[in-house]
Amino acid sequence: MGDAGASLQGSRPVKAARAPRRPVPARRPAPRARSAPTGLATRLAGRLATRLAICAALAGVAAPAAAQLRAFEFVLDNDQFAFTPPGEERWYTSGGFIRAAFDAPAGSADARLAAAWCRVVFGCDRDARIYRVLSLNQTIHTPGLPASTTAPQPYDRPYAAALTLGADSVVIGPSTRQTLSLRLGAIGPAALGEPVQNGIHRVLGQSPTLGWGWQVRAQPVVQLGWSRLSAFGGAGSGPDVVLRTAVLAGNPVTEAALGAMLRFGRRPSGPTWPGETLGAREPDGWYGFAGLEGRAIARDALIDGRPYGYASRIEREPFAGSAFVGVSFGAFADWRLDFSLALHSVPFASPIEPATMKPQRIGTIGLRWQPAR
State the average pLDDT for the chain: 83
Q: What is the pLDDT of residues 335-356, one digit of tens each?
A: 999 999 999 999 999 888 665 5
Question: 243-276 pLDDT, tens per residue?
Answer: 999 999 999 999 999 999 999 999 998 899 999 9
Residue 31 pLDDT grade (very low, low, confident, very high; cuts 50, 70, 90):
very low
Any idea which of 101-115, 176-190, 239-253, 346-360 has the lowest mean pLDDT? 346-360
pTM summary value = 0.81
Q: Which residue has the higher pLDDT, 146 or 317?
A: 317
- Provide mean pLDDT across the span 222-235: 92
pLDDT higher for 2 or 267?
267
Burial (CB < 10 A; 0-12, 13-18, 19+), residue 96, is middle
Nearest to 268 by CA among 133, 136, 368, 168: 368
**Of 33-47, 115-129, 310-324, which has the strongest mean pLDDT?**
310-324
Tell me, what's the pLDDT at 246? 98
| CATH number, span 70-369 | 2.40.128.140
pLDDT at 7: 38
Which residues touch 174 (CB under 8 Å, ≥6 apart)? 125, 127, 269, 270
Per domain, the residue ranges of the chain are 70-369
* pLDDT value of residue 111: 86
State how far the Cα of 364 lies from the Cα of 82, in Å rounded to an integer: 8
Average pLDDT over residues 123-137: 92
